[in-house]
């Protein structure tokens, strides 16, 4: 436990990026008693990259984890340090333009390194593993969580950070008089792999392809597909995600008994991009054993809180990865909640209005990020109704499209939440 003088008992269910980041910040405040419950036997992330926009990097710094992040994160070297992605035609790698985020550019990290860096700083006794929450109820101003092992835990406040398949989301929605929400398949699948950057460099040299395409994060665009590359592990690995979309159905379905992530073959991946150019072909030929991810998101929820229970991260607003923003939104949730809960005004009596302020401030922005993430995929894949395959329009649209997302001021969010609570 954080402190023997704790006054407010908070449970966090789910030890992904959002849950661990929140736990780490809350643990620093002696009036809070934090317990984190994770279903798996240990913290774990997939072996892939994750990139953070300028807004997410500010949330990381605000959560007090800026230094460990800096130690493991990749930045593109000068003179391209401000570029998020360069945009290129998939067929011939022709340059279409770039998106620039001054001061941050592309900030990326290996997922497992990031979660490790967070988890290592959690004081002992905060995290409990092999604890899968299955049921929640509220009795006499307390929340009771039941786990599959038959145990239960009582607290003043429960924050569910249990991901897109959240088991606690339905409790909140039911409380709001809304039917359960299940993740929806987007029709898009992503081939993922990591390439040793020296291997890719040698392959590009042999094929006479410009190594600039390795040095600067790239996004290759085409009809119903796009491919991104950025470095992780201080440039030793190149993270590759190759998206293909089937837009033949307005309501695509992923077979119920099929896992969302599975192994696939290089031949299958190469076939999906067979009409694309050499830069893409050589890139994909360096991934002998890709995985295939069926991408799901959530519809926009009518609310993130009910009673003494709140949702953060993908449990609240899982989105498509096309703006590289999902984890960053979870970090913004964690930052705002942590700032509110750290305030000395907080007692077991006022956590409901506090959650209400969190919901009112965070939900409109997270919903907009969900919506624009879906739309970004259509834009990249030449299916935007206005831009279509007009390269000039594509280039000017992409140059400024993300500014509102990256330039958001989370301090204004906090001021608005505090004002709603009457904490001036
Ligand atoms: C292909 C792809 C690329 C992406 N790229 C980016 C990117 O570049 N940038 C970005 O910001 N985002 C990106 N995202 C999105 C990002 O991965 C997610 O938004 C983020 O990881 C969600 O974190 P989370 O902590 O909310 O949930 P999760 O990471 O899903 O963590 C949930 C945790 O809860 C645990 N759990 C689940 N159920 C229970 C239960 N009942 N009881 C206890 N524990 C439970 C799970 O074991 C897990 O540890 C990408 C997503 C995909 C699919």
144: domain CATH number? Answer: 3.50.50.60
User: At 3, is the pLDDT very low, low, confident or very high (cuts 50, 70, 90)?
Assistant: very low
Residue 215: the pLDDT is 95
% of the chain surpassing 70 pLDDT: 99
Over 60: is that where the pLDDT of 269 sits?
yes
Domain for residue 61, yes or no?
yes
Domain for residue 42, yes or no?
yes
Domain for residue 353, yes or no?
yes
Average pLDDT over residues 93-106: 97
* CA 394 to ligand 1 center in whole angstroms: 30
Average pLDDT over residues 148-161: 98
Is 0.95 topped by the overall pTM?
yes
User: At 167, is the pLDDT very low, low, confident or very high (cuts 50, 70, 90)?
Assistant: very high
Which residue out of 321, 377, 402 has the highest number of ligand 1 atoms within 8 Å of its CB and is therefore the one to mutate? 321
Residue 402: CB partners within 8 Å, gap ≥ 6?
A: 53, 84, 99, 101, 323
Residue 310: CB partners within 8 Å, gap ≥ 6?
A: 157, 158, 159, 160, 172, 304, 337, 355, 358, 359
User: At 424, is the pLDDT very low, low, confident or very high (cuts 50, 70, 90)?
Assistant: confident
User: At 108, is the pLDDT very low, low, confident or very high (cuts 50, 70, 90)?
Assistant: very high
User: At 4, is the pLDDT very low, low, confident or very high (cuts 50, 70, 90)?
Assistant: very low
Domain for residue 378, yes or no?
yes
Residue 159 host element (H or E): strand 157-160
Residue 418 falls in the annotated catalytic set: no
Over 90: is that where the pLDDT of 249 sits?
yes
Task: Give the DSSP letter of residue 301.
Answer: P
Which residue out of 22, 104, 163 has the highest number of ligand 1 atoms within 8 Å of its CB and is therefore the one to mutate? 163
Number of domains in the chain: 1
Domain for residue 404, yes or no?
no
Of 159-163, 225-229, 344-348, the least confident: 344-348
Residue 47: the pLDDT is 78
Over 60: is that where the pLDDT of 6 sits?
no
* CA 127 to ligand 1 center in whole angstroms: 17
Residue 70: CB partners within 8 Å, gap ≥ 6?
A: none
Residue 369: the pLDDT is 98
Protein residues with CB under 6 Å of any ligand 1 atom:
13-19, 37-40, 50-52, 131-133, 161-163, 167, 190, 241, 293, 295, 313-314, 321, 324-328, 330
Cβ atoms of 145 and 9 closer than 8 Å: no
% of the chain surpassing 90 pLDDT: 96
Containing domain of residue 147, as a range?
8-76+108-182+299-385
Domain for residue 249, yes or no?
no
Domain for residue 13, yes or no?
yes
Domain for residue 322, yes or no?
yes
Nearest CA to ligand 1 atom 30: 163
Q: What is the mean pLDDT of the chain?
A: 96
Instruction: Quickly count: other Cβ atoms within 10 Å of residue 40's Cβ.
Output: 13
Average pLDDT over residues 368-385: 98
Residue 170: the pLDDT is 97
């Amino acid at each position: 436990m954080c402190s023997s003088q704790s006054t407010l008992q908070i449970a966090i269910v789910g030890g992904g990026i959002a849950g661990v980041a929140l736990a780490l910040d809350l643990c620093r405040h002696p009036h809070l008693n934090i317990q984190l419950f994770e279903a798996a036997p240990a913290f774990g992330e997939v072996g892939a990259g994750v990139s953070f926009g300028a807004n997410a990097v500010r949330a990381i710094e605000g959560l007090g984890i800026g230094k460990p992040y800096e130690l493991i994160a990749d930045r593109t070297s000068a003179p391209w340090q401000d570029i998020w992605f360069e945009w290129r035609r998939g067929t011939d790698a022709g340059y279409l333009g770039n998106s620039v985020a001054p001061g941050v550019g592309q900030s990326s990290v290996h997922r497992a390194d990031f979660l490790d860096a967070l988890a290592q700083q959690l004081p002992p006794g905060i995290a409990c593993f092999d604890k899968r929450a299955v049921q929640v109820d509220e009795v006499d101003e307390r929340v009771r969580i039941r786990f599959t092992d038959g145990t239960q835990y009582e607290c003043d406040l429960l924050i569910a950070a249990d991901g897109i398949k959240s088991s606690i989301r339905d409790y909140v929605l039911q409380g709001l008089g809304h039917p359960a929400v299940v993740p929806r398949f987007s029709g898009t699948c992503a081939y993922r792999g990591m390439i040793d950057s020296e291997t890719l460099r040698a392959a590009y040299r042999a094929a006479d392809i410009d190594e600039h395409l390795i040095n600067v994060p790239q996004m290759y665009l085409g009809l119903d597909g796009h491919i991104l590359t950025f470095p992780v592990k201080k440039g030793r690995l190149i993270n590759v995600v190759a998206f293909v979309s089937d837009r033949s159905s307005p309501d695509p379905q992923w077979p119920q008994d099929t896992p969302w992530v599975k192994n696939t073959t290089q031949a299958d991946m190469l076939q999906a991009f067979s009409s694309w150019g050499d830069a893409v072909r050589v890139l994909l030929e360096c991934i002998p054993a890709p995985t295939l991810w069926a991408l799901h998101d959530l519809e926009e929820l009518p609310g993130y809180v009910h009673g003494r229970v709140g949702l953060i991260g993908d449990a609240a607003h899982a989105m498509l990865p096309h703006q590289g923003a999902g984890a960053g939104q979870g970090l913004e949730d964690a930052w705002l909640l942590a700032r509110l809960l750290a305030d000395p005004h907080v007692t077991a009596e006022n956590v409901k209005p506090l959650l209400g302020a969190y919901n009112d401030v965070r939900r409109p922005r997270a919903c907009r990020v969900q919506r624009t993430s879906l739309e970004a995929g259509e834009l990249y894949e030449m299916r935007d109704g206005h831009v279509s395959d007009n390269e000039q329009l594509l280039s000017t649209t992409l140059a400024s499209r993300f500014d509102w997302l990256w330039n958001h001021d989370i301090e204004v969010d906090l001021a608005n939440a505090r004002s709603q609570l009457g904490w001036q």
